[in-house]
Each structure stands twice: as structure tokens, then as C-alpha cells.
């Protein structure tokens, strides 16, 4: 009855996408599966984007001509962006929906998956970053700064400061703390919040590499290929 009432309400407003709770199949088998599980724990209510496993209103999808088939990553947020520009809404509800199987058991898998995310952020900026919403701009800039600019600056100052510039790397702890506190507000236990914050900080490096890879591919004028992590 609860679900029926929720959907009856949603049908009365311009809802294009409805997504519920997505559970990882085996989060206890690896750190990387646990991280994937935590990624699905996003705020409830109206959101800018959600996972790709969702109920979608056919008329809304037709209105934006569906997914952009040229993208190798980030196709859901990009389509959701176009939907929102037409006034459609994306909604996440607290109802169990599906089971997902990331099947990540190696660091190399996590690294490639993070590179793919970086590629998606940068391509999103190129496609829609000039829009007033600044699509993906914040994420891409954060990766550029923490993944390349900041650590490069620390290393360049190493000789001039007799190594004291290494103390600036403590700023990564501040980034870790900010992410950790946010995850606590989302209901994570302290152990999981620390886990997520650590790997989120570390992901700045492969994501920045993914962004570089996007531009390198563009410079070579090569056809983009999938960045597979499985």
C-alpha cells in the first residue's frame, strides 16, 4: 500500500525517473564491492541523477531521444541532465529495487573504474559545462586540483623548501575529514564512513588520469573505446 501511494503521488507531477534502493550482491567480499554498495546510498527525494537501474517514463525518454550512444561512460547523468532541462524530475524513493553485482576484487579493477568516472566527468564538462548548471564542472575541477595540480605543486617546491612543502600534503587529511563527516550525515557507521572517505580521496588520482586520457584521445582524434574494469 505504501508503494502504491508513493507512485500515485509521483504520477501527478513531472517525474521522468524513479529509482529505489540498489543493493550490492556481495559487499562483504571486498573493499571495492563495499564502496560500490555505499555509492548507491544517495539522498532520497528529488535528485539531479540516480543509478541507471530505474523506472523510466517512456514519453520523457523519447522527448530527449534516449541515451547518447556516443558516450562510453556517464550516459545516465548526461541523459538525466537533458531531461531536467525540459522540466522533468528524477526521484529516489526508499523502496528496495534491485541487486547489483560490481564483482570488484582487485585494486586494478577499482582503478580502471575510477578512470572511467574521470573520463565521464570531463566529457560531461565539454558537452554541458557552459550551461548555467555547470554540469560536472565541480567534480572535474576537484579532480584536476587534488589529482594533478596540488601534488605537482608540492613536488615542484620540494627543493626550494628543503622538503617542508611535503607538509602541505596534510591538506588531503582535511579533504578526507570533510568527506567522512558528510557520509556520517548520510547514516553511515564510522567504519564505513572512514573507508569511503579514504578511497574517495585516493580516487582523485585515477579520475584525473581518466580526464587526461579523454583529452589525449581527443587530441589524437581516436574513436573512444570502453574502459572495462571486469
95-139 tens-digit pLDDT: 999 999 989 999 999 999 999 999 999 999 999 999 999 999 999
Name the grid cell of 59: 514519453
* All structural domains of the chain: 1-104 (3.90.550.10), 106-230 (no CATH)
List pLDDT tens digits, range 165-219: 999 999 999 999 999 999 999 888 999 999 999 999 999 999 999 999 999 999 9
CA distance 227 to 116: 6
Please answer whether residues 205 and 93 qualify as being in contact, where contact means their C-beta atoms are separated by less than 8 angstroms.
no
List pLDDT tens digits, range 20-54: 999 999 999 999 999 999 998 888 999 999 988 89
4 pLDDT band, cuts 50/70/90, is very low
pTM above 0.75, yes or no: yes
Of 40, 25, 179, 206, nearest to 103 by C-alpha is 25
List pLDDT tens digits, range 54-84: 999 999 999 999 999 999 999 999 999 999 9
The secondary structure of 84-111 as a DSSP string is HHTT-EEEEEEEEEEEE-----SHHHHH
Where is 24: in which H helix or E strand?
Answer: strand 15-24
Amino acid at each position: 500500500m505504501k508503494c502504491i501511494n508513493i507512485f500515485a503521488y509521483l504520477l501527478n507531477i513531472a517525474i521522468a525517473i524513479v529509482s529505489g534502493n540498489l543493493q550490492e550482491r556481495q559487499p562483504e567480499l571486498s573493499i571495492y564491492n563495499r564502496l560500490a554498495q555505499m555509492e548507491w546510498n544517495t539522498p532520497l527525494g528529488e535528485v539531479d541523477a540516480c543509478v541507471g537501474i530505474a523506472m523510466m517514463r517512456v514519453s520523457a525518454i523519447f522527448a530527449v531521444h534516449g541515451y547518447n550512444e556516443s558516450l562510453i561512460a556517464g550516459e545516465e547523468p548526461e541523459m538525466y541532465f537533458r531531461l531536467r532541462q525540459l522540466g522533468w524530475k528524477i526521484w529516489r524513493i526508499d523502496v528496495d529495487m534491485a541487486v547489483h553485482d560490481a564483482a570488484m576484487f582487485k585494486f586494478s579493477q577499482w582503478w580502471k573504474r575510477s578512470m572511467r568516472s574521470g573520463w565521464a566527468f570531463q566529457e560531461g564538462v565539454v558537452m554541458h559545462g557552459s550551461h548555467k548548471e555547470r554540469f560536472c564542472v565541480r567534480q572535474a575541477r576537484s579532480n584536476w586540483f587534488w589529482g594533478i595540480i596540488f601534488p605537482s605543486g608540492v613536488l615542484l617546491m620540494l627543493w626550494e623548501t628543503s622538503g617542508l612543502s611535503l607538509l602541505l600534503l596534510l591538506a588531503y587529511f582535511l579533504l578526507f575529514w570533510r568527506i567522512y563527516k558528510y557520509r556520517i550525515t548520510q547514516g553511515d557507521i564510522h567504519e564505513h564512513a572512514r573507508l569511503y572517505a579514504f578511497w574517495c580521496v585516493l580516487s582523485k588520482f585515477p579520475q584525473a588520469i581518466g580526464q587526461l586520457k579523454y583529452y589525449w584521445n581527443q587530441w589524437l582524434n581516436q574513436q573512444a573505446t570502453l574502459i572495462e574494469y571486469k
